[in-house]
Chains A and B, each alone.
Chain A
């Protein structure tokens, strides 16, 4: 991929709300060109979405519970892990799904409104799937950093206002 596209993606990854006009200036391009490239990248599913990272703990909204579940599965002939992975990823409770190296195969991130709900999902939906051999559920207790952003980081600028 061209250098300019990479730079554009990097800028958007840092701040998806940056205006296309600002982006164009920063990368020495025409705004129309930026819009065109973004549309292409969306079309090609390089850009998959624009999400916002929220610290829900700071809101009065009901706390969600997130768990990371290690899943061992039996891979299937010809398709390996892909079919079972596609199946698992269809559940709306599943927020993330990764094929892992090491002692288990799939890492599943599941979100629910309560511990009980997540546990129920694992025992009733996930563990009972054909080819799933075993599961191990780890609940997330506190988030310190996600998507490269540290929660509650002190970003005070300690520099003097004017210096030579």
Chain B
């Protein structure tokens, strides 16, 4: 047998749970997808126009490693305006290639071999792999639907050991849509202080908070010096493909992250950075418009899922509903594959986001009202059909709302 050149640790890393499902879905036509982790809006025109203009003006060069000064200054103003957080844009803000890069380099910047990272699940797919590739190990915490998938301080305290170095928080959460209030976060902050943990706070969905105001973890008393704040433009401004995110952290950590960034990435693409400046300067109204649309669709999907008989808590943020499909007797994977094959609706199996996501599915409502309506009708048909063959399903559930209207938009 020939020698494998692939690093052992990487070879042992399981592939993303979404991959298999994606391969299946992408071969099919006529699918309604609630499986997409990005806005259905196109980037607002004034932001796209800024990108076009930057090309016309010939801005095709590298920028400074940390990102353009103008963008970092706008980011620092934004953080001050929204969260009363003061970061020095010369030394405490780094522009990255999406928030994903920021997560990776934050972990690589702080983890020693064998350090433990605490990861509440269900969560975004990259936290565990990035931890492992950075030489760390992880301890997961299974958050519960009964708690609206919030992190409970007592659960956190139970998994902390002498090797625990960092905690990854991601609220509003992908895939559950869970949010945490200021007082709930303060409980977590107390433990971070007590056990001297670094908190990597992925707040990419912060603008999409429907209940109350988003509280940035770094803004809690004493937390700024032990937090790496991660955010970006993908979700709030519908700018996923531009790949612009950022990290804000105390100078020492940020300098270490910048070192990694400069040797691997050099800098984020300049066109995206210029567009991001426009987004921060003039994009507030567009955000509000999109947020209101998501909020209305959220009611539509939560209501529809409950009628179908799939219990679902009301998510306070992001654009995901995370209903339980346990009563159907199917596993998440089975449910999603059958739903795709039989009704051509794509949703994502909950176990792709951690073991405790088993028994749930993620339905993104970043889709048009018409698409959501049609997807719900199909899911209703699917669940009713399988109810006959399944023990324990509540067959008395009311049928989902029938959407008889034809929308102007496809």
Contacts and interface: CB of A to CB of B under 8 A. Distances in A.
Given A25-B401, A159-B40, A164 B300 contact: no
A155 interface: yes
A35 B110 CA distance: 58
A157 B35 contact: no
Contact of A161 (B33, B126, B174, B404): B33
A7 interface: yes
The interface residues of chain B, by DSSP majority, are classed as loop
B35 A162 contact: yes
Interface string B300-344: 100110000000000000000000000000000000000000000
Interface string A11-24: 10011011101100
A156 to B, nearest CB: 10
Contacts of B125: 164
B283 interface: no
A15 B22 contact: no
Given A26-B296, A27-B299, A161 B410 contact: no
Contacts of A157: 40
B31 interface: yes
Nearest to A149: B408
B37 interface: yes
A163 interface: yes
Contact of B37 (A7, A18, A163): A163
B18 A162 contact: yes
A117 B113 CA distance: 84
Interface residues of A, number: 23
Nearest to A157: B40
B22 A28 contact: no
Given A19-B404, A19-B405, A162-B25, A26 B35 contact: no
Contacts, number: 84
A7 B35 CA distance: 27
Contacts of B292: 7
A61 to B, nearest CB: 20
Most buried by A among B25, B174, B304, B408: B408
B26 interface: yes
A77 B346 CA distance: 67
A161 B26 contact: yes
A34 to B, nearest CB: 13
A164 B21 contact: no
A75 B334 CA distance: 74
Contacts of A14: 408
Interface in A137-164: 149, 155, 157, 159-164
Contacts of B401: 21-22, 25
B36 A22 contact: no
A149 B35 CA distance: 28
Contacts of B26: 160-162
A22 B18 contact: no
Nearest to A18: B405
Contacts of A164: 16, 18, 37, 124-126, 174, 352
A7 B299 CA distance: 14
Contact of A162 (B348, B369, B409): B348
Contact of B369 (A15, A149, A159, A163): A15
Interface in A1-57: 7, 11, 14-15, 17-19, 21-22, 25-28, 53
A17 B405 contact: yes
Contact of A160 (B36, B124, B296, B410): B36
Contacts of B408: 14-15, 17, 53, 149
B410 A155 contact: yes
Interface of B: 16, 18, 21-22, 25-26, 28, 31, 33, 35-38, 40, 124-126, 174, 292, 296-297, 299-300, 303-304, 346, 348, 352, 369, 373, 401, 403-410
Interface of A: 7, 11, 14-15, 17-19, 21-22, 25-28, 53, 149, 155, 157, 159-164
Given A162-B21, A164-B16, 14 more contacts: A17-B408, A27-B296, A149-B408, A155-B410, A159-B33, A159-B36, A161-B22, A161-B31, A161-B33, A161-B36, A162-B18, A162-B36, A163-B22, A164-B352
